[in-house]
């Protein structure tokens, strides 16, 4: 940009050192041609002999590209007494050109300003020189001053060249005054023919920085129509939609890009995985992540493996999650990962393996209370799948029943939870609950036995009372035979004594 400004400045200011020194600027000459009613050239627009001699010598140095010597001679000329305004204006203008050639832009600007202030230039010449100063200010990094001066030049009704619009856009952007840059950028865009990518990019940049999301969306859509293969444009559109509360539309764009093969990096894959997970599609997210892991796009790091297992568990694919977690646990040697493995095994009722995983987690520093709570809960839940204890069973069979054995193990496991913690308090309640269940079973069996005994006592009594109908025999049902001895002891003995 700077080089472009400098080139334009040279063309406008000089057009050749000799021409500039000996004649008014080209813009001034054109202005006079276009305005025949302007007054004749003012008197005194000529050099005296001594000043002319020094200026001509300076011109020869400038033509020979010896600008340092030219500046020295021009300073001598300025020191002459009684210089008229035209002489001063011309000498300062020549000095500005010499400084410019030496890349001393600040001095060049100062000299051109002195040329104007000398009063020796015609209005058109001063206007033309101000245009040159504006361009030099921009090229010298004084963007605000230069752009303001250039805008003043345009506002005075002077012709606007495409190069001026280009300069104003660049200057205000460099000054980060995007509000000032925008109207010139929009004009630059409108007048561009054909429109190039840079025209679209600038408006996109300005609309984004000014928060003009509606206009930015329009320009991005135009760019997508022109450059459909540009992935950054699609990303920009998706980002704008997400920021505007249109997350579903942003998701659809990213899904389309992924399915179309445009999202190929690890970062891209993780973005689409997060989208699927956010929209409660963990199984689809897991499938994508696993596929890209197998393809080598996403590395099989511990974090990625754990994420994959989490997604599978969210999708209730516990069996598929377990081998992945086993691999992650072996790879990381982390208490947290071993605990996650233990939890996954617990959900699959693989209590033995879950206990092994949780014990490793404890050894690596995992919360002992939480680990043993998981282990005990797994054992207790597995006991629920076993056959219920029947009151008809013998005491030996009841004691060796799988349901009884597992509940005893769960009771012992809950006992491993440290007391004095929240987990310890919950574990104590679990132990009370398990004992209460045992008592309920015993009470139920005792109740059932009492009911049966009372029923049999009635049946035995009836059998005694009706023995005369059975030729004096007491006929007792087989199921009541176990209760006959107790009945006789309680009731027949006392009856005999009374008799």
> d(Cα 240, Cα 218) in Å, to the nearest integer?
11
Q: What is the pLDDT of residue 478?
A: 81
> Does residue 67 form part of some domain?
yes
pLDDT, residue 471, reads 66
Q: Among the listed ranges 28-42, 60-74, 130-144, which one has the minimum average pLDDT value?
A: 28-42
What's the pLDDT tens digit per position in 147-163? 998 999 888 888 888 88
Q: Which one of 92, 109, 141 terminates a domain?
A: 141
CA dihedral 72, 76, 79, 83 (to 10 degrees): -110
Residue from 365, 371, 319 nearest 340 by CA: 371
Considering 141, 157, 183, which residue would you say is the last residue of a domain?
141
- Give the DSSP H or E segment for 240: helix 231-243
Determine the Cα–Cα distance for residues 117 and 110; give it in Å rounded to an integer: 10
Task: Look up residue 356 and give its two tokens.
Answer: 């092994």
pLDDT at residue 387 above 60? yes
Q: By the 8 A CB rule, do 410 and 380 touch?
A: yes
With respect to residue 65, please indicate whether it lies within any of the assigned structural domains: yes
Look at the block and give the residue holding tokens 């001699």: 53
Range of the domain at 489: 454-498
Residue 82 lies in a domain: yes
Banded model confidence at residue 6, pLDDT cuts 50, 70, 90: very low
Q: Is residue 386 part of a domain?
A: no
pLDDT at 31 over 60: no
Q: How many domains does the chain have?
A: 2
Residue 104 lies in a domain: yes
Whether 25 is in a domain gets the answer: yes
Q: Which of 95, 114, 141 is the last residue of a domain?
A: 141
Distance CA 254, CA 269 (A): 10
Q: Does residue 349 belong to any structural domain of this protein?
A: no
d(CA 361, CA 356): 9
Residue 477 lies in a domain: yes
pLDDT one-digit tens code per residue, 170-208: 999 999 999 999 999 999 999 888 989 999 999 999 998
Q: Is 120 exposed, middle or buried (0-12, 13-18, 19+ CB in 10 A)?
A: buried
Q: DSSP for 91-142, please give it.
A: HHHHHHHHHHHTT-HHHHHHHHHHHHHTT-S-HHHHHHHHHHHHHHHHHTT-
pLDDT averaged over every residue in the chain: 82
* Residue 461 binned pLDDT confidence (cut-offs 50, 70, 90): confident
CATH of the domain at 61: 1.25.40
Instruction: Provide the token pair at 465.
Output: 């009372």
């Amino acid at each position: 940009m700077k080089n472009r400004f400098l080139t334009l400045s040279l063309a406008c200011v000089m057009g050749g050192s000799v021409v500039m020194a000996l004649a008014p600027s080209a813009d001034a000459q054109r202005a006079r041609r276009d305005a025949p009613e302007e007054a004749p050239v003012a008197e005194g627009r000529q050099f005296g002999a001594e000043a002319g001699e020094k200026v001509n010598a300076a011109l020869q140095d400038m033509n020979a590209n010896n600008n340092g010597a030219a500046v020295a001679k021009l300073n001598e000329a300025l020191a002459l007494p009684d210089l008229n305004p035209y002489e001063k204006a011309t000498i300062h203008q020549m000095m500005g050109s010499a400084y410019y050639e030496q890349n001393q832009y600040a001095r060049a600007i100062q000299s051109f300003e002195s040329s104007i202030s000398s009063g020796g230039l015609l209005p058109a010449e001063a206007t033309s020189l101000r245009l040159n100063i504006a361009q030099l200010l921009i090229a010298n990094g004084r963007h605000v001053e230069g752009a303001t001066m250039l805008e003043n030049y345009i506002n005075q009704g002077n012709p606007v060249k495409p190069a001026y619009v280009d300069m104003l856009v660049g200057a205000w952007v460099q000054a980060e005054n995007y509000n000032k840059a925008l109207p010139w950028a929009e004009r630059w865009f409108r007048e561009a023919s054909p429109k190039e990518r840079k025209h679209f990019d600038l408006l996109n940049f300005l609309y984004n920085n000014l928060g003009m999301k509606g206009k930015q969306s329009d320009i991005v859509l135009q760019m997508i129509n022109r450059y459909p293969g540009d992935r950054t444009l699609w990303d920009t559109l998706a980002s704008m939609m997400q920021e505007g509360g249109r997350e579903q539309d942003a998701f659809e764009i990213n899904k389309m890009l992924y399915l179309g093969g445009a999202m190929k990096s690890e970062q891209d894959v993780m973005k689409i995985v997060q989208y699927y997970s956010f929209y409660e599609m963990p199984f689809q997210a897991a499938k994508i992540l696993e596929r890209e892991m197998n393809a080598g796009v996403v590395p099989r790091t511990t974090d990625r493996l754990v994420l994959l297992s989490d997604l599978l568990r969210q999708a209730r694919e516990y069996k598929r999650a377990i081998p992945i977690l086993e691999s992650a646990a072996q790879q990381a040697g982390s208490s947290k990962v071993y605990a996650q493995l233990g939890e996954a095994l617990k959900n699959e009722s693989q209590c033995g393996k879950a206990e092994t995983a949780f014990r490793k987690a404890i050894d690596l520093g995992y919360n002992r209370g939480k680990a043993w709570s998981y282990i005990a809960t797994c054992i207790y839940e597995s006991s629920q799948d076993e056959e219920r204890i029947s009151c008809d069973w013998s005491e030996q069979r009841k004691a060796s029943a799988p349901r009884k054995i597992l509940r005893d193990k769960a009771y012992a496991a809950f006992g491993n939870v440290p007391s004095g913690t929240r987990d310890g308090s919950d574990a104590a309640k679990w132990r009370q609950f398990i004992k209460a269940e045992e008592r309920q079973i015993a009470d139920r069996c005792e109740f059932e036995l009492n009911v049966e005994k009372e029923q049999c006592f009635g049946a035995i009594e009836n059998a005694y009372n009706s023995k005369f109908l059975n030729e004096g025999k007491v006929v007792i049902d087989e199921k009541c035979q176990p209760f006959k001895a107790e009945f006789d002891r309680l009731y027949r003995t006392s009856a005999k004594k009374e008799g």
